[in-house]
Structure 1
Amino acid sequence: MAATTLVAVGGKGTNPKTTLYVGGLEESVNEATLHAAFLPFGEIKEVNIPLDHATGTHRGFGFVEYEEKEDAAAAIDNMHNAELFGRVLKVNYAQPMKIKGGDKGWSHLPVWADTDRYIEELDAENELDEYEKEQRKQQAKEGAANAAADGAEQPAAPASS
């Protein structure tokens, strides 16, 4: 029985289903090494290993973008939990970068572009808070009414002299 890979929606590159995240890279791995390791699975469009600007070294992960989504799926099937230079790799579909835009390219939008959604969420939260306050008040009133009714039904205690 052949293993199957579920194709996730979302991703980093031009086609989200063709870009892979590769985590767990050993310090000496460079883009050429990563390219060579993933080349057997298909035509590679781009290999990128982001560098830490403070140290000048990579941060232990990279991205491999394939020409075809079937090649990316084959690479995940074969390379996830595989070993490269003594380190176990984590390979899956890359997720969109939220800060730099993701699927919609938000990086070119003004900061206030999301204001309407934010205000709607805030209004919904406030409405929920008000509803919960009303519920607590109603429960307190019912509790006080029940306590008063219970007190009226009980016979008065005899007065002690």
Structure 2
Amino acid sequence: MGTNPKTTLYVGGLEENVTEPVLHAAFIPFGDIKDVSMPLDQSTQKHRAFGFVTYLEKEDAAAAMDNMHNAELYGRVLTVNYAQPIKIKGGEQGWASQPVWADADTWFERQQQEEELQRLQVEHEATVKAAEEEGRKKLVQAREGETEDADDKMDPMAKAEAEALEENNA
């Protein structure tokens, strides 16, 4: 099952502008990369100054570690070690720098909460729009009641609809 930990490198000391493509480019000279990941801080949406590079071959990972440990990237000195898998609930749930209890379930809960918030926001916007529409209709109706020549103030569509209604009723 899980990946051989000897193919995954922990890369620490990343400058904040380093992105996954940058990390990939820095480590690809040593061999084929299977995966690059940089965990984001949920509150800032920035990475937490470390990432992981997984090679297909453990020899490539070893070469990358030998060459990239203490190397500079964007002016910062890198720390490159073999990543240690954290065993959670009997499986490898990825590489976390957080305590075990803060891991798997909460990420899904967080995703669900974000989706729920987005859904509520969309519903709220729809409600506000509907209320605004309703308000406009009431304004138009109020104006019609006030003035005899309301036809001139109605927009062409509403006027056409009103005339069609009158013809149908006639």
Query: Shorter-chain TM-score: which interval?
Result: 0.5 to 0.7
In structure 2, distance between residues paired with 1:75 and 1:106: 23
Pick 1 or 2: higher relative contact order, CA cutoff 8 A, min separation 6.
1
Q: Which residue of 2 aligns with 1:61?
A: 50
In structure 2, distance between residues paired with 1:76 and 1:25: 15
In structure 2, distance between residues paired with 1:46 and 1:92: 16
In structure 2, distance between residues paired with 1:94 and 1:41: 17
Identical counterparts, % of pairs: 72
Runs of 4+ residues deviating >2 angstroms? none
Letter in 2 for 1:81: N
Q: Which residue of 1 aligns with 2:83?
A: 94
Cα distance per residue 1:19-45 (max 9 Å; x no partner): 000000000000000000000000000
Q: Normalized against structure 2, the TM-score is what?
A: 0.52
Q: Normalized against structure 1, the TM-score is what?
A: 0.55
Q: Which residue of 2 aligns with 1:71?
A: 60
In structure 2, distance between residues paired with 1:71 and 1:43: 8
Q: Which residue of 2 aligns with 1:38?
A: 27
Q: Note the C-alpha offset of 1:81.
A: 0.2
Letter in 2 for 1:82: A
Q: How many equivalent pairs are there?
A: 93
Cα distance per residue 1:2-55 (max 9 Å; x no partner): xxxxxxxxxxx6111100000000000000000000000000000000000011
Q: Which residue of 2 aligns with 1:105?
A: 91
Q: Gaps (5+ residues) in structure 2?
A: 94-100, 102-170
Tell me which of 12, 21, 25 is aligned to 2:10: 21
In structure 2, distance between residues paired with 1:23 and 1:89: 6
Preserved contact between residue 86 and residue 92 of structure 2 (Cα < 8 Å)? no
Q: Which residue of 1 aligns with 2:106?
A: none
The equivalences for 1:140-151 within 5 A come to none
User: Is the counterpart of residue 80 in structure 1 residue 69 in structure 2?
Assistant: yes
| Structure richer in helix, relative to its length | 2
Q: Gaps (5+ residues) in structure 1?
A: 1-12, 112-161
RMSD across aligned C-alpha pairs, in angstroms? 1.8
